[in-house]
């Protein structure tokens, strides 16, 4: 059975939910990965009579399904330090409140718990998102950072996320963390350390998004294999690398799409992600969940790019063989 293809609505939250559903259906998507953002989803309304039913009715109207929802923006605020103007711009008035940093973290954690409840109400078993990090600010490790500070950062993550994951367990829902710079798990070894910090509890897994691996030099295919028991969801975004000796992986504080950057996000199929090898690896580990297109490309109109990305990815994602190689060659 082919894997379903969904459109992640995070980059479309400026449009009404029904408009995005209509667009995605017309382009041939099977469903949506719905973001808790804009009018698409509000986690605080998870138990409001008729709310969930209204969202499901829109999906049904356009012959779409939902296998996962996401809440990246509020998850970011759970562990971040500092909490500042950047968070005020993304977490919304309810979570921001008076802006007191610890209050923001606590309200963000409460929203993540509600997101698990909302997922259950929608009949969904996976929430995709970020965790934030109190130690990302030390990524350069200079001025020198004592080991105890890094240890404390992972302990802070565990202390803040274990109570959230308890609610996920109660709801029968899993959290798929997107391994991403600025998070507690942002590369290979920090992913290992993060899973260790929470005792490898099953409620916490990974959202495989290769775009963030490419510019860091992480092999996205090996990552699938090494963390095969934790790949709970797949987001597809592409990255084009263009280091020149002047353009570097650090980005130089330049905006997306600036030709002086050493890399940029591009529409899936137009970058350097080894999609065929990646899909073969996903098949090898038995991943049958949704392939979600997270469309980002500063140089392309999204109304052109989203359907193009769907077609590009499907070229690399084909049904596995139903006959083993050995069996095929053992016939007389």
What are the pLDDT digits (tens) for 86-139?
Answer: 999 999 999 999 999 999 999 999 999 999 999 999 999 999 999 999 999 999
For residue 302, the model assigns a pLDDT of: 97
Q: What is the mean pLDDT of residues 60-72?
A: 98
- Is a pLDDT exceeding 60 seen at residue 284? yes
Tell me the average pLDDT of the chain: 96
Retrieve residue 82's tokens: 């500092």
Q: What is the mean pLDDT of residues 12-32?
A: 98
Q: What is the mean pLDDT of residues 8-26?
A: 98
What are the pLDDT digits (tens) for 288-328?
Answer: 999 999 999 999 999 999 999 999 999 999 887 776 556 55
- Asked whether 56 and 109 are in contact (CB, 8 A), the reply is no
What does the buried/exposed string (b/e) look like for 307-324 if buried means 16 or more CB atoms within 10 Å of the residue's CB?
Answer: bbbbebbbebbeeeeeee
For residue 325, the model assigns a pLDDT of: 52
- Asked whether 240 and 271 are in contact (CB, 8 A), the reply is yes
Retrieve residue 158's tokens: 């565990």
**Collapsed DSSP state (helix, strand, coil) of residue 60:** helix
Proportion of the chain above pLDDT 70, given as a percent: 97
What are the pLDDT digits (tens) for 258-271?
Answer: 999 999 999 999 99
């Amino acid at each position: 059975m082919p894997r379903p293809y969904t459109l992640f609505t995070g980059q479309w939250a400026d449009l009404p939910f029904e408009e995005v559903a209509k667009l995605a259906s017309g382009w041939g998507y099977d469903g949506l990965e719905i973001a808790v953002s804009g009018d698409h989803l509000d986690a605080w309304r998870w138990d409001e009579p008729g709310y969930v039913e209204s969202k499901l009715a829109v999906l049904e109207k356009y012959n779409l399904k939902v296998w996962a929802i996401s809440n990246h923006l509020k998850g970011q605020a759970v562990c971040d330090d500092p909490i500042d103007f950047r968070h005020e711009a993304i977490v919304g008035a309810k979570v921001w409140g008076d802006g007191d940093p610890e209050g923001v973290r606590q309200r963000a954690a409460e929203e993540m718990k509600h997101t698990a409840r909302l997922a259950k109400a929608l009949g969904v078993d996976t929430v995709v998102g970020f965790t934030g990090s109190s130690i990302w600010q030390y990524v350069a490790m200079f001025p020198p950072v004592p080991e105890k500070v890094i240890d404390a950062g992972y302990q802070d993550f565990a202390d803040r996320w274990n109570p959230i994951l308890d609610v996920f367990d109660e709801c029968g829902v899993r959290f798929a963390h997107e391994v991403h710079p600025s998070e507690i798990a942002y590369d290979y070894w920090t992913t290992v350390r993060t899973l260790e910090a929470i005792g490898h509890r099953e409620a916490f897994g990974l959202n495989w998004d290769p775009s963030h691996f490419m510019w860091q030099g992480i092999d996205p295919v090996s990552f699938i294999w090494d963390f095969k028991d934790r790949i709970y969801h797949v987001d597809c975004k592409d990255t084009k690398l263009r280091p020149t000796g002047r353009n570097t992986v650090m980005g130089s504080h330049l905006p997306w799409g600036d030709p002086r950057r050493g890399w940029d996000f591009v529409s899936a199929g137009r970058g350097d992600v080894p999609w065929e090898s990646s899909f073969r690896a996903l098949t090898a580990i038995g991943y049958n969940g949704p392939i979600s297109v997270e469309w980002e490309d500063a140089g392309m109109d999204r109304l052109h790019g989203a359907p193009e990305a769907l077609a590009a990815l499907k070229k690399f994602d084909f049904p596995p063989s139903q006959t083993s190689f050995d069996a095929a060659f053992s016939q007389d």
